[in-house]
Amino acid sequence: QVQLAESGGGLVQPGGSLILSCAASSRTIFSIYAMGWYRQAPGKQRELVASITRGGVTDYADSVKGRFTISRDNANKVDLQLDSLKPEDTAVYSCNADAFVVSRGRMDFWGKGTLVTVSS
């Protein structure tokens, strides 16, 4: 199957910045249709933060537009630049990949999640 390796979470003060990275890998041949980051804060539903398709089309939550930027390093790796962080951005951020796996088909994969805490 496809494994998603996440990095970059941590503690940052309001107004600060952070970079989250996610890399997809597998023992089998696979192709990524889209990758993105979701987040879930205590007492709230999980929401899409940002995503990017194989063709480079991006989508952002209204709450992060102008502050977060998602980009592709290559077909299997994405970075999320988080700027001007606010306390309400505090959440567990999880990487997601919409992928086609040879001999298995199109499947959805999730990383373990990384905690981003924005606090003074």
Asked whether residue 74 carries a pLDDT value surpassing 90, the answer given is: no
Whether pLDDT at 29 is above 90: no
Average pLDDT over residues 81-85: 98
Distance in angstroms (rounded) separating the CA atoms of residues 75 and 34: 9
C-alpha 120/C-alpha 106 separation (Å) is 42
- Residue 36: band (very low, low, confident or very high) from pLDDT cuts 50, 70, 90: very high
4, 95 Cβ separation under 8 angstroms: yes
Q: What's the pLDDT band for 73 if we cut at 50, 70, 90?
A: confident
Separation between Cα atoms, residue 76 and residue 12, nearest integer Å: 27
Amino acid found at 81: Q
